[in-house]
Amino acid sequence: MLNDFRKTLTKVIHLRSIIGYNGLVFALKKTPVIGKILPDALYRTTALKVIYWIFHVIKEVFVLFIGKILGLGLIYGASLLLRSAYTEYEMAPGVSGAELFSCFSLFLFLIYALCGMLVNNNYFRCTTEKEYLVFMLRMNAKKLNNTLFIYDLAKLVIGYLIAGIVAIIAGAPFWLWLGIPILAVCIKLLGAGAQAFIYRVKFKNNKPMKRNTAALLVGLLAGMFAVPAVMVVFINGYYIPVSILLAVSGVLIILGVLGFIELSRFGANLHRKALAANIVRAEVERYKEPDTTKQFKKIKAKGTVKGDKKGFDYLNALFVRRHSRILITKTVVFTVIAVLIIGLVIFSFISSYNKSFGTGNCVHMVFSNLLNFILFGKYQDVLQPYVEDSAYSFFRYLATTHLLALMIPVSIYDNSFKSTQAFFINCDNSLMTFSFFKQRDKIIKLFDIRLIQLCKFNIVPAIVCGVAVNLVLFYTGGQDYPFQYLLTFVIVAALSVIESVSSLALYYLFQPFTTTVNVKGGAYMAARIILGVIAVHIFWIPVNSLLLAGVLVVFTAVYVFVLRKLVYKKAPKTWKVKA
């Protein structure tokens, strides 16, 4: 039996090391720059495998220390502190220090172990190595589960015995040092045995074997509520006598023995079924997880394109119609929130006015001022409270000299990145196999159509942003020169175009996406980061909005022109499916 255990464990550890090592090399080879340098020979380099093994062993020991020694060590440490506090303040007269220590340690350990049993019960969890060994290499599932379980229990016992030495030095009784590891093993057996029992009953009733999430929840809640409750108990000087704790421990040990019996009766076939059920469950859960590709597959089946759109215009119009949810949700959400904020600002204005000038003519004054503003660009001095307010002065300063900071809301509402992903996943990825799609003229034609489309998506939130800035200007003294309000819209529109054309051009020049929504291009990410860093540095520069609008209009025109040229020249080579 010992020989069997040794053989199985050797196979598991060997496989674990192969999976770990190959996974590490694979990850390294996928890393930009480094990946290109590393040769395939890494997979068979014995020296590196040995180094990996050394690290693997260190990690195992580290986990042992952290998980077991530290866990129990903390319990013993807390018990020591409590003992000294109880002794100092004579909260437990007539009880020896050793007994007090045992009370605290055992009590805390029982809570710790029982919560652990519910939360961390991995006996039937199907890991990668279990999947390979049982379902590909046809290993006996029971033998494998038991071997790994015994290995875990051995680590647990060793870790607890080492931690117990500290307790012995601190004056804990010998039985506690030996008893806690035994109790820990029995609680583990109880957890695994209970799970086996539930599986066996369910299997008998042809019900799917699934992890008991209710138990998990109870464990988590118990953990959450136990700590404050225990604190209250201790602060008030209470403690549970050792005899009661020993009785509870005795019950748990008996239940652990029953768990052991249950496990020994649990056949190899059931073990295999439980592991298989675990795989299926993991797959289902993986499927349930917010799948990033799923959102791109929400294609509206109904609706068509009206009018006489042809060719790429037709393609784009159909794409937008069938993907409206993906393409405009973000901008709609932004717009709604921004409109609400603007509403609050207007409400605040009316409310302030109301306080200063009374309810009677409040609405009339507000609207007559708005009308005055719209018709003549002027307003009366009713806005004086805002003009004098230091907070509003600050906002005015921003609205007149820091409009480049509008890049922040623009980058929030602009959906170009996600739109380019949707373009690739649901359209370009498939059309790239057709030669016409890679012709320069056609590439640039579709690029232009898409750029206009992305800019159209941004019109409404851009106007909303412009309105918000202009409201600040309006409430704090109005425009400094003619057309300042209009220039705000020009600035935000130009920033929107810059944001959209950047995302779109980067997509055409680096095409970083895969069909599983991953971003694979290191150059693409680097380019985005560089652009981001430049933007962060630029938008703090104070610029008068008149000057800014002029510069931005020219810059946007040049920027779009240059990027279009680049796309025209490079995209036939760069805009393709990643091999």
Partner 1 sequence: MEFVISHLVKSYGSKQVLKDVDFVFEEGKIYGLLGRNGSGKTTFFNCINSDIDFNSGSFYLRDDNDGGKQIELLPEDIGYLVSTPTVPEFMTGREFLKFFIEVHEEITPDRTIDEYFDYMMIPEDDRDRLLKDYSHGTKNKMQMLLNIIASPKLMLLDEPLTSLDVIIAEEMKNVIRSQKQGRITIFSTHLLDVAVDLCDEIVLLHNGRLEPIDKSNLGDSAFKDKIIAALRDQNDA
Which of the stretches 75-83, 106-114, 116-124, 432-440 binds partner 1 when contact is defined by CB under 8 A? 432-440
CB of 491 to partner 1, least distance (A): 35
CB of 284 to partner 1, least distance (A): 23
Burial class (CB in 10 A: 0-12, 13-18, 19+), 286: exposed
CB of 439 to partner 1, least distance (A): 6
| Phi, psi angles (nearest 5°) of residue 402 | -125, 40
Which of the stretches 251-259, 319-327, 396-404, 497-505 binds partner 1 when contact is defined by CB under 8 A? 319-327
CB of 32 to partner 1, least distance (A): 15
Cβ proximity to partner 1, 123 vs 507, nearer residue: 507
For partner 1, the binding residue among 433, 518, 534, 561 (CB under 8 A) is 433
Amino acid at the residue 356: S
Instruction: Check: CB of residue 82 under 8 Å from CB of residue 104.
Output: yes
For partner 1, the binding residue among 98, 255, 318, 566 (CB under 8 A) is 318
Which of the stretches 165-173, 429-437, 468-476, 521-529 binds partner 1 when contact is defined by CB under 8 A? 429-437
Sign of the torsion angle spanned by Cα atoms 475, 478, 483, 484:
negative
Cβ proximity to partner 1, 269 vs 439, nearer residue: 439
Cβ proximity to partner 1, 206 vs 435, nearer residue: 435
Report if residue 306 touches partner 1, rule: CB under 8 A: no
For partner 1, the binding residue among 142, 322, 450, 528 (CB under 8 A) is 322
Q: Would you call 30 helix, strand, or coil by DSSP?
A: coil
Instruction: Check: CB of residue 167 under 8 Å from CB of residue 97.
Output: no
Q: Of all helices (H) and strands (E), which one includes residue 423?
A: helix 416-423
Closest CA to 183 of 242, 253, 79: 253
Report if residue 311 touches partner 1, rule: CB under 8 A: yes
Residues 6+ apart with CB under 8 A from 231: none
What are 370's two structure tokens?
A: 């708005």
Cβ proximity to partner 1, 200 vs 442, nearer residue: 442
CB of 325 to partner 1, least distance (A): 12
Site size toward partner 1 (CB under 8 A) is 33
Give the torsion through C-alpha atoms of 562, 567, 573, 578, to 10 deg. 120
For partner 1, the binding residue among 18, 366, 431, 546 (CB under 8 A) is 431
Residue bearing tokens 């403690």? 239
For partner 1, the binding residue among 312, 489, 559, 568 (CB under 8 A) is 312
Report if residue 387 touches partner 1, rule: CB under 8 A: no
Give the whole-angstrom CA distance, residue 568 versus residue 445: 10
Q: Counting every residue, how long is the chain?
A: 579
| Phi, psi angles (nearest 5°) of residue 527 | -65, -40
Give the whole-angstrom CA distance, residue 235 versus residue 409: 51
DSSP 373-422: HHHHS---GGGHHHHH-HHHHHHHHHHHHBGGGGHHHHHHH--HHHHHHH
Cβ proximity to partner 1, 300 vs 565, nearer residue: 300
Cβ proximity to partner 1, 6 vs 297, nearer residue: 297
For partner 1, the binding residue among 383, 427, 552, 560 (CB under 8 A) is 427
Say how many Å lie between the first and final Cα of the chain, rounded. Answer: 51
Instruction: Check: CB of residue 270 under 8 Å from CB of residue 203.
Output: yes
Q: Would you call 24 helix, strand, or coil by DSSP?
A: helix
For partner 1, the binding residue among 135, 197, 314, 524 (CB under 8 A) is 314
What are 535's two structure tokens?
A: 């933007």
Binding mask 47-86 vs partner 1 (x if CB under 8 A, - otherwise)? Answer: ----------------------------------------
Cβ proximity to partner 1, 44 vs 537, nearer residue: 44
CB of 426 to partner 1, least distance (A): 5
Angle at 183 between CA 178 and CA 184, to 5 degrees: 100
For partner 1, the binding residue among 112, 234, 319, 392 (CB under 8 A) is 319
For partner 1, the binding residue among 49, 68, 83, 323 (CB under 8 A) is 323
Residues 547-576 within binding reach of partner 1 (CB under 8 A): 572-573, 576
Residues of this chain that interact with partner 1 (CB under 8 A) are 39-40, 297, 299, 301, 304, 310-312, 314-315, 318-319, 322-323, 426-427, 429-436, 438-439, 442, 572-573, 576-577, 579
